[in-house]
Amino acid sequence: MRVATTLSSLAFISAITLAACQPAENKSEVSETSVARSGQVTSTGQAQIGGAYTLVNEKGETVTNETFLGAPQMIYFGFAYCPDVCPMALQKMAAGLEIMGEDGADIQPIFITVDPERDTVESLAPYVTANSFPDGLTALTGTREQVDQAMDAYKVTAIKVVDPDYPEDYTMDHSSIIYLLDDKGQFLGLFTHQDSPERIATNTKAYLRR
Ligand code: NI
């Protein structure tokens, strides 16, 4: 039973993998699936999502997964040059946390880059201060190996897409998932950039109450 549920949650994540930053059809179906499956994942508490990582924040400080224990977290993997999906996900996260009021203020929002080559400490420092992004957002980068370890822990994939005519302006097709963790770093559930702020707020409150 646990195995089946874990497999289905992982199958779901790979199903929406690479939906971001490229034209994707049936996005509304993805959103509906997300709610159904995220409930399923939570019911066992056994999904193997999350784990150890060591990265650097936008202030240049080394952080690990243990740095953030003691408060619930919302973690989103993306890249700062992303023109649409990543900002949308962070805006939805911000709006959801805002709706939650004081409960939302207790949650640590975290952005982890999938593109450490461009997303340096220096470039992430202004990124976290964007107007519509969550208050207190921290952005994490590192070496390619450090970032890969964090991505593996969260079953996140990203593929570099290069236009030969503009090699500098490459994009990244990547998973677009907001992970909710409890104050012990345990995975509770997930959202996508397609979920409304209201749904994020309501479901987050429900997850945290369990
Ligand atoms: Ni993106």
pLDDT in tens, 137-186: 999 999 999 999 999 999 999 999 999 999 889 999 999 999 999 999 99
Kind of pairing between the strands at 171-174 and 158-161: antiparallel
CA of 193 from ligand 1 middle (Å) equals 10
Tokens 């874990």, located at residue: 6
Task: Report residues near ion ligand 1: CB below 5 Å.
Answer: 20-21, 78, 82, 85-86
Q: Which residues of the chain have pLDDT under 50?
A: 1-8, 11, 14-15, 17, 20, 23-44
CA of 86 from ligand 1 middle (Å) equals 4
Distance CA(11)–CA(17), nearest Å, equals 10
CA of 1 from ligand 1 middle (Å) equals 34
In the structure encoding, which two tokens stand for residue 209, read together?
């109450």
CA of 62 from ligand 1 middle (Å) equals 24
Task: Answer whether 176's CB lies under 8 Å from 78's CB.
Answer: yes
pTM here is: 0.81
At residue 41, the pLDDT reads 44
Tokens 């056994």, located at residue: 46
Distance CA(130)–CA(152), nearest Å, equals 28
CA of 209 from ligand 1 middle (Å) equals 30
CA of 55 from ligand 1 middle (Å) equals 20
pLDDT-above-90 percentage for the chain: 75
